[in-house]
Amino acid sequence: MKDHYFQRNKFITNYIVAIITFILTLIMGIVIFFNGVSIAVENNSRRTLITNVVRQSEHLNTILNINYSYLNVLAQELSKSRDLFSEDNVSLIQVFMHNSDLNRTAIIDPNGNALYDNEVIKNVAHRRYLKNLYKANNLFQIL
């Protein structure tokens, strides 16, 4: 009877050890699987994000280059006029604004007086971009 009891106890012990081993192996497998999936998702997300940012950056550079070329053509046309703030120039920048994606365009004279496409006149000589332009212009005049 004692042998039967020990055999049964040994069977139950082996059974419990097998179940615990199976559960631990299953847990480890699930953890490894989800860790692998998490790493794969992170890598794919990072690659997709980098690709999208590069494409958007290239698109932005293209749009900026197109707008700068339009502005250069506009500046060439404006420079042909003797009076920078003439009606022809105002109508030219108004037509330009109507046909472009820019929000506001201004004609700025060397003193910093700006005539905007909505015919508002302001002095913008204090603005940083204009001060930087004046500094760069002075350097070119020295050279």
The label of the residue with tokens 């480890």 reads 28
Look at the pTM and tell me if it is higher than 0.75: no
For the segment 42-52, the average pLDDT, to the nearest whole number, is 97
Report how far residue 43's alpha carbon sits from residue 48's, in angstroms, rounded to the nearest whole number.
Answer: 9
Q: Per-residue pLDDT tens for 6-24?
A: 677 788 888 999 999 999 9
Q: Per-residue pLDDT tens for 82-109?
A: 888 888 888 888 888 888 877 888 888 8
Work out the number of other CB atoms within 10 angstroms of the CB of residue 93: 23
